[in-house]
Amino acid sequence: MAAQAGGFDSRASHGVGATTLSVGGSGLDITAATVGHTDGNRVTYCDYSGRITATTASGGSYLSNFGAVAGCRTLPVYSVSKQFSGLRGKAGTFVKGYTTHDGAMAPGTPPQVQIRA
């Protein structure tokens, strides 16, 4: 079976809120990530951004903060994306997604996508 880096996960964060992670890739190569968040009944988010963490093929730790949007926006959901080049994950480990808004990390268990061999 071929390795697969891509996938999607959504986890409840608080109340009716949720944080989502979508990972694109081929083989063990991670080529893109999108993280998103909604508080359910909230529509204004200030200073939001995304982050992923992963274990590289060599066993090292990888962290990327991306998509910072300054100021406040009225949105039902916010999401940020990043393209990657040369990021190779370790089979059996997870890419985890995080979001931040209004000065704090979104609560709850972060969504994760397993890198499968």
CATH of the domain at 54: 2.60.40
- For residue 16, pLDDT over 90 is answered with no
- For residue 107, pLDDT over 90 is answered with no
Q: Is 25 exposed, middle or buried (0-12, 13-18, 19+ CB in 10 A)?
A: buried
pLDDT on residue 3:
45
| Residue 12 in domain | yes
Percent of the chain with pLDDT over 70: 95
| Residue 58 in domain | yes
Domain total in the chain: 1
- pLDDT band of residue 4 (cuts 50, 70, 90) is low
- Its domain, for residue 97, covers 7-104
- pLDDT band of residue 58 (cuts 50, 70, 90) is very high
**pTM score, whole prediction:** 0.90
Report the range of poorest mean pLDDT among 10-19, 44-53, 78-87, 102-111.
10-19
Please tell me whether residue 117 adopts helix, strand or coil conformation.
coil
| Residue 115 in domain | no
User: Of 28, 50, 65, 66, which is closest to residue 110 (Cα–Cα)?
Assistant: 50
pLDDT digits (tens, 9 = 90+) for 92-104: 999 999 999 999 9
pLDDT on residue 66:
96
